[in-house]
Amino acid sequence: MSRSRCVRRPSTIRTGSACVAENDPLAHLSPSRPVPAGLHGRRDGTPGLVVRPVDVVAIVLIVARPKAGEIPPAAAAALGAFLPAGPRHVAGSGLILIGTAPGRWLAVAESTEPAALAARLATVLGGTCALTDQSDALALFDLSGPALETVLPKFVPVDLHPSVFGADAAATTSLALIGATLWRHGDGVRFAVARSMANAFLRLVVTSGAEVGVELQ
């Protein structure tokens, strides 16, 4: 008996990649090409997710030096806040301090030149911490919108329920092999990722939010 009646012709079988491509608004775009600004995914109604790149930012990595002594008590007054213990962020005087790991923090300032921020931190912290300018190494993005809390769990392996990830919360994690630090910012969440991975991050966000519509500003 011929088996042709029992088996579908290979050319008519839909592959997994074909199915994914139908739901990926960037399937036509080479991974090496930048994700263009504009609307992606669902286009009717208000976009469920808005992505805004954060420009003109000074970012300095602070790492406590082993056996260098305690951070000067006066540092909190000079910075406007204590360096947070654990995965939290606090607003200081003209900057935000984010705890990323034990003895490690990011200092972020939107209206300060990187050299000026590094100099300010060096004066305040003395020799207790090593400072590294990360302004060119990291890219920042603000995510907000009515569907934010629905889309984020699709690619963020962190419990983001407000009862757990509150207003001062922060986390450092991996998003589909993309290292990221995130924290609550205004009515949304701010992400810091390696600039070399920024395009991969945007593709991940757009694909995850395609069904609600994503506006990349």
Are 216 and 26 spatial neighbours (Cβ–Cβ below 8 Å)? no
Write down all domains in the chain, each with its CATH number in brackets: 39-54+137-216 (3.30.1360.120), 58-133 (3.30.70.1520)
Rounded CA-CA distance 207/49 in Å is 11
Tokens of 101: 């790991």
* % of the chain with per-residue pLDDT over 70: 90
> Helix count (H) and strand count (E) of the chain?
5, 12
pLDDT, greater one: 75 or 18: 75
118 pLDDT above the threshold of 60 = yes
pLDDT for residue 62 is more than 50: yes
Judged by DSSP in three states, 213 sits in coil
Q: Is the sign of the CA dihedral 33, 39, 42, 48 positive or negative?
A: positive
Q: Is residue 18 pLDDT above 50, yes or no?
A: no
Taking residues 27-52, what's their average pLDDT?
93
CB neighbours of 9 closer than 8 A, spacing ≥ 6?
none
Lowest mean pLDDT among 6-20, 64-78, 115-129, 162-176: 6-20
The answer to whether 41 and 211 are in contact (CB under 8 A) is: yes
52 Cβ contact list (under 8 Å, min separation 6): 141, 142, 144, 217
Which helix (DSSP H) or strand (DSSP E) does residue 91 occupy? Answer: strand 89-91
Residue 123, pLDDT above cutoff 50 = yes
Q: In this predicted model, what pLDDT tens digit does every residue of 70-84 receive, in sequence order? A: 888 889 999 999 999
Average pLDDT over residues 13-30: 62
The confidence score (pLDDT) of residue 31 equals: 86
Residue 213 pLDDT exceeds 70? yes
Residue whose tokens read 């009862």:
163
Average pLDDT over all residues of the chain = 89
Kindly tell me the sign of the dihedral angle through the C-alpha atoms of 168, 169, 170, 175.
Answer: negative
The pLDDT assigned to 170 comes to 98
pLDDT value of position 22: 54
Average pLDDT of the segment spanning 185-206: 97
Give the separation between CA 168 and CA 48, rounded to whole angstroms: 24
pLDDT at 67: 75
CA count, 13 A, side-chain hemisphere, 52 = 14
